[in-house]
Structure 1
Amino acid sequence: MTPTLRTERLLLEPYTPEDEEDFVALFQDTRVSRWMGDGPASEAADRALFGRIFTKVYAQDLFDVWAVRRDGLLVGHAEIKPTDVVGGHEIIYALAPAAWGSGLGTEVAERIVAHGFDTLGLTTVHATVAAPNEASLALLERIGFDPVRSITEDDGSITRVLARQRAVSQG
């Protein structure tokens, strides 16, 4: 079951059915969705995705998916899940444009990486980022992710794969 996580300014908690309109609005914003998955989707597809969070992801406890809230408002989305592309767990995060540039992305990414290491017991956490998404690449490198490889997608675009290793405690 997806746990509730906190950062200094954010609450990451499981979605509720009442979040559907805010979720769809976030994913329908092309400034956000251009960097997510295969890019912008139809409103119907985003509503179906929201439904699958409950009927599949939460119902089968497949992986952790969070609504990211600040002061009670939905400002983003976060996940950590196993993916074949990286051969391990990948973090995914998206924030509404109104939350950009304030360090909230760093808070979200750091918190879900810590969850991966501390709660899930992972030794490596990955991220995949479209090569033109320089802000996300810079954020990840700032918090300790290293480039691993590049993937050329079917449409010719480049996706960067990054990884962060769990710090080995000295004892």
Structure 2
Amino acid sequence: MTPELRSERLVLSPYAETDEADFVSLFQDEAVGRWFGDGMQTAAQDRALFHRIFSYVYAENRFPVWAVRHEGRYVGHAEVKPSPESWLDGHEIVYGLTRASWGLGLGTELARLLTSYGHETLGLAEVHATVDSENTASLTVLKRLGFTQGREVREESGGITLLLTSRLPAPPVAG
């Protein structure tokens, strides 16, 4: 079950059917949607993706997926999920915010909340993010939060995906 999460200004809650138009609008905005998954999809594909959240992800309790709200308004999408990448064994955070919410520090607040959830609630020693090398905003946020860059993967499209990782400090050795 996807729990509700809160930070100082954000509320992350499971999607409701009434969020479909906002979800599709977010993913259809090229400034945002190009960074998700395989990039821009059609509106019909984004609607189908929204419905898979209910029929697959929530129905089978796969991983948490949230609608992100600020001051009661939908401002984004977030997930903590097992990585679908064959070269990454672990969980990754996924997030995106509406263009209207940029520049308010919400990206850092959201990524911090997701990372804390991964470490503290899920008990993950490592929380990953896979980011297109040209997505400077997300790279800046993650590095600000202490994520370190690891592997670089050249995609078939010619782009480069970077693996960034937040690691819990190793426990002290008793002695």
TM-score, reference length from structure 1: 0.97
1:107 is the counterpart of 2:109: yes
Identical residues among aligned pairs (%): 53
Write the letter of the residue equivalent to 2:112. E
Mapped partners of 2:165, 2:17: distance in 1: 33
Number of aligned pairs? 171
Q: Map of 1:4-153 to 2, 5 A cutoff?
A: 4-85=4-85, 86-153=88-155
What does the per-residue CA deviation read over 1:47-89, in whole Å, with 9 as the maximum and x for residues that have no partner? Answer: 0000000000000000010000011111000000011422100
Q: Tell me by how many angstroms 1:118 deviates.
A: 0.9
Write the letter of the residue equivalent to 1:109. A
Note the residue ranges of structure 2 that are not aligned, 5 or more in a row. Answer: none
Mapped partners of 2:58, 2:126: distance in 1: 24
Seen in structure 2, the aligned counterparts of structure 1 residues 164 and 103 have a Cα distance that, compared at 3 Å, is same
TM-score, reference length from structure 2: 0.95
> What is the DSSP-based 3-state SS (H/G/I as helix, E as strand, rest coil) of the residue aligned with 1:140?
helix
Superposed structure 1 runs of 4+ greater than 6 Å apart: none
Mapped partners of 1:107, 1:134: distance in 2: 17
